[in-house]
Amino acid sequence: MFEILPNWHPVLVHFSVALLTLSVLLHLLGLVPGKGRVLEELSVVADWTLWLGTLASVATVIAGVFAYNSVTHDEPSHAAMTVHRNWGLVTLATFAVLAVWSAWRRWQGRARGGVVFALLLLAAGAVLASTAWRGGELVYRHGLGVMALPMTESHGDGHDHAHTAPANPEKPGTTGKPAPAGHEGHNHKH
């Protein structure tokens, strides 16, 4: 595994979110009335993104379980991780059912999904968005899975943000406190 990554979950999750979100949007576009080659092709792409996104989500959840059991955390972040994990499992189960339904529909020779299928897919997309939001909060609010930046000494040739103090290495995810009045500018030293 690459040293910069604590685990593969942050890499894989982007495929799950992108493919499944695209699938939801394409399936909704597929509700446009009419027939034609473009709508047929759109329906094929919508199904394939659903199937591939669901497969990517299986790998994402496996990596997420590994992350859940290996990332250093405290009690508040553990509670948030547990909620995110539970939402992730519900998201995977929901999209897995829809992927099987979609494959069965294709096998039966019905190319486009109906309104009920699209509405359930839209609801699954909302569950996906909630899961992704909670995952983002684990990183940006709780500082999980991120490596602290090294403390540097500025000698006039480095990158300096005059409006913030250095990050606190004792509290991962902190960015420092605001600079005193009069030092709000953004300085780059060259």
Note whether 51 and 136 are same-domain residues: yes
Note whether 172 and 80 are same-domain residues: no
- Tens digit of pLDDT for each residue in 136-162? 888 888 888 777 656 666 555 555 555
- Tens digit of pLDDT for each residue in 22-59? 999 998 887 777 666 777 788 889 999 999 999 999 99
Distance between CA atoms of residues 138 and 135, nearest Å: 5
Note whether 79 and 110 are same-domain residues: yes
Note whether 95 and 165 are same-domain residues: no
Note whether 107 and 172 are same-domain residues: no
Report which of residues 57 and 178 the model is more confident about. Answer: 57
In a domain, 35, yes or no: yes
pLDDT band at 116 (very low <50, low <70, confident <90, very high): confident
Distance between CA atoms of residues 31 and 113, nearest Å: 8
In a domain, 36, yes or no: yes
Note whether 87 and 27 are same-domain residues: yes
In a domain, 23, yes or no: yes
Region 117-139: what's the mean pLDDT? 92
Note whether 25 and 84 are same-domain residues: yes
In a domain, 152, yes or no: no
pLDDT band at 170 (very low <50, low <70, confident <90, very high): low
Note whether 115 and 169 are same-domain residues: no
pLDDT band at 2 (very low <50, low <70, confident <90, very high): low
Chain-centroid distance, C-alpha 177: 28
Query: What does the H/E/C string look like for 22-79?
Result: HHHHHHHHCCCCCCCHHHHHHHHHHHHHHHHHHHHHHHHHHHHHHHHHHCCCCHHHHH
Note whether 27 and 113 are same-domain residues: yes
Reduce the DSSP state of residue 188 to 3 states and report it. Answer: strand
Region 118-147: what's the mean pLDDT? 89
Provide the domain limits for residue 122: 9-140
In a domain, 154, yes or no: no
Count of structural domains within the chain: 2
Region 123-145: what's the mean pLDDT? 90
Note whether 90 and 57 are same-domain residues: yes
Residue 97: partners with Cβ closer than 8 Å, 6 or more residues away: none
Note whether 108 and 165 are same-domain residues: no
Note whether 84 and 114 are same-domain residues: yes
Burial of 120 (0-12, 13-18, 19+ CB in 10 A): middle
- Tens digit of pLDDT for each residue in 66-111? 888 888 888 888 888 899 999 999 999 999 999 999 999 888 877 6
What count of other Cβ atoms lies within 10 Å of the Cβ of residue 141? 13
pTM for the model: 0.72
